Amino acid sequence: MVSGALRRQGGLQLREHAVIRRGGGGGGGGIIENWLGLPTQSATFQSFSRIRLPTQHQPLPSSRNIRASTSASSAKLSPSPSPLPSRQLACSTRVVRTGVFASRSGLARSVPLRLSAAPGLHGSILWSERPAMAVTAMLRRLSTTRSLQQEHKVDFKDGARPGTPPATATAKPTAIAATQSNAASTPAKTDGQTPPPGQDALAKPAFQRSERAEKATHVNMQARLSREGKAQNKADLAEVWRLLRIARPELRWLAVAFVFLLFSSAVSMSIPFSVGRLLDLATKGGVDDVRVLGLTMTQFFVAFGAVLTVGAFSSFLRIIILRIVGERVVARLRTQLYRRTYTQDAEFFDANRVGDLISRLSSDTVIVGKSITQNLSDGMRAVVSGSAGLAAMLWMSPKLTSILLIMFPPIAVGAVIYGRVIRNISRRIQRNLGTLTKIAEERLGNIKTSQAFAGEVQEIARYNKQVRKIFALGRREAFVSASYFGANGWFGNMTILALLVVGGNLVRYGDMSVGDLTSFMMYTAFAGSSLFGVSGFYSELMKGVGAATRLFELLDRTPSIHTTVGSKVASAQGPIRFRNVSFAYPTRPAVNIFQGLDFEIPSGSNVCIVGPSGGGKSTVASLLLRFYDPTQGVITINGVDVKAMNAKSLRRRIGMVAQEPVLFSGTIAENIAYGQPEATRARIIAAARKANCQFISDFPDGLETQVGPRGAQLSGGQKQRIAIARALLKDPDILILDEATSALDAESETLVNAALAELLKGRSTTISIAHRLSTIKRSDQIIVLSNQGTVAETGRYTDLSADPTSAFSRLMEWQMSGGDVPLVPSHEDSGHVTEHEEIEEDLEEPTPEEEEEEEEEEEEEKEKANKNKP
């Protein structure tokens, strides 16, 4: 009963928690895999009691002996320096007594287990406090021992390990010692994650990491842009100067704005002087016949009003000029960035997310444009006004000016520190804004899939999490800004208080007039505001530098494949040859997709490329279109290396229909004519008819029907036929069909195939990447790719299908069977019993107690049946 319950509980726990499997090797070490079959980091079980597994053969105790001995099992506990708590002992006594050993290893089928409360005992099996975890550890340990028995043909001998009773079986001491010690030393624990309800972790064997997967861990992300730009800690003068140079094309208008700035600043600086003169005249009395600057009071006020009007108009012109210049700078910068982004190679887009690029094109450019136009104007105004005010204060009272200069160094140092902190925060905000844009772009672009899996809550939570990060950074920026400007305000108030104390004494002793003190205090206010303006200019400039470094990195990036370099391609007709081509994607340089690939496609032929999933069929099209260049070998068209060709010119001669058709927002006619904007209406209609796009007649607007974002208003088959029409309108020398008819129904596929066959007969070279038998039969030649990145075989359909041992025949059989027939002979075919099967058999095999109970139930049923007989 105990063992039966234990097995059932252990089996359930195995299905709800991690699957423990050995990681290979002679030592029998194990790795832990989560319920998806992915290896996780190993760690030691905590709070384990240990159980010895004697190798001496003993008969299995009966259920009566088990029940009788369970209550007395604590008497068999060995002394331990750290005894288990009573609760743990109670749990452990339920676990021990029986254990199943390797049934196929030639050892005894069942042996008794003896509990030991001494942790760390050499050669013992790891057991957790929970019965299910104990079963997990035991089965992992037993399966590891079996594997060692099968791999090394180990038999047990006497004295195989220290501390165990003599055994009657034979064994090699080194092998068993390694096995036992590995169980005690190998870190192991479950990942602590519970699979979704109903998830059966043992439904299929866990994935073992292959050699290809080990190579895939070596990732090359040299093409990835830094999330924070080039400068990580400080922005040097070169970056600041490069930021300012962005506005160099607008230098003339900036000079005009600077002139208007001088006018408005001069008017502002005249106000304190005029107020001081008027106060002095007012304190002397008799202002009716007093003249100011040779003008009567009435004339002075009229003239002063005119000057203030000129100053306001100058400010208006300065602001509007700078705003227009700023928008022009942003527009030019966005155009340059978009052009640079669009001319990057495929490696760049493999390594960078579109959302981050969109953030650089949108928010970063706005910050940079504002920094070098409006912010630059404010900074220049602050510098001019502050310099003029400081000069006026020195002329009026050097003593009071010296007091003001004492307060300047702390404010200047604080401004530098504040600017650096703000720059770093700005970079982090821009980086997280890029991530936020990326999340929104990816999730909203796949909204139907997310809703189909009821993922609205988790996607909203994912977005809100990023919003909270940005909010936390914004809150930190607000705290830093409030602290800096609050401290500056306190210093300014203290400065004004000191000036009032000293200035009041000067007026008291007649060293300074009331008007001069008033003018001086007003100049002090102007200088203080200018100082704040300079600080704000510096902080905004650092924000601009933080955003500009992200833009400069994109502007400076040079693609590995230049689309405009090379000889123009007048015609792409001729044989296509892949000669000893090796290739690995730049982001996974250690994983070779092709290794010595060699085949030739005759000119004007219809060739079909088939192979297992992941064999590199679509990669052939990518290499031919020069999205990537091979790492080794040569690809030639009519004897000319494609590397020597102009990539843009080559792509104009190749038509491509991808497996997932891509349509752009706009009309059906615009999508068919994409790449051929000069195409006439008649050519567009002819291409649509050849591609069997008769469904256009069902739309009220016909060819002017809007397809929606990514063709959302059309079905999959309709989008694919429009993509075929777009390729046919191009009239290419080479047509690549990557599963081009996979989304078509049987009738549409027949019509499209007939149109393609008639159109391309003797004119274009057609390369079909397909798995449909109808497409394969229609081809002139079949190229079968293998998983090793080579050509398995080539030939006609009739020849390859006639040989049942050919790779093509096995591939077709596998596809038609739905994957039931293995493409490559597996271990199961050779009679090898997998570890998964052994564990399931151990869990499902009835114990002697359960067999005894079943016999008793059968006897009771027989007795009842006999009693019921008349």
- Cβ 102 vs Cβ 142: under 8 Å: yes
Handedness of CA 526, 529, 535, 537 (dihedral sign): negative
Residues lower than pLDDT 70 in the chain: 1-237, 284-293, 742-744, 748, 751-752, 754-763, 817-852, 867-870
Burial degree of 758 (CB within 10 A; 0-12, 13-18, 19+): exposed
Q: Find the helix or strand (DSSP H, E) in which 735 lies.
A: strand 734-738
**Which tokens belong to 499?**
């000036």
* pLDDT score recorded for residue 121: 39
- For the chain, list the domains and their CATH numbers: 2-205 (no CATH), 237-556 (1.20.1560.10), 576-816 (3.40.50.300)
**Which tokens belong to 277?**
């003169």
Give the number of other CB atoms < 10 A from CB of residue 667: 16
**Nearest by Cα to 52 from 78, 26, 73:** 78
Report which residue type is found at 353.
R
Token pair 């203080």 in the structure block, residue: 528
* pLDDT score recorded for residue 783: 92
To the nearest 5 percent, what fractions of the chain are helix, strand and coil?
Answer: 55, 10, 35
* pLDDT score recorded for residue 46: 38
Q: Which residues on neighbouring strands pair with residue 610, listed in sequence order?
A: 784
Q: Which residues on neighbouring strands pair with residue 126, listed in sequence order?
A: 50
* pLDDT score recorded for residue 580: 92
Reported pTM: 0.56
**Which tokens belong to 260?**
């208007």
* pLDDT score recorded for residue 636: 92
Rounded Cα distance between 698 and 716, Å, is: 16
Q: Mention every residue, 6+ apart, whose C-beta is less than 8 A from residue 712.
A: none
* pLDDT score recorded for residue 832: 46
Rounded Cα distance between 65 and 57, Å, is: 17
* pLDDT score recorded for residue 437: 79
* pLDDT score recorded for residue 190: 41
SS (H, E, C) 259-292: HHHHHHHHHHHHHHHHHHHHHHHHHHCCCCCCCE
**In Å, how far are 202, 246, 400, 609 from 780, measured between CA atoms?**
46, 58, 97, 11
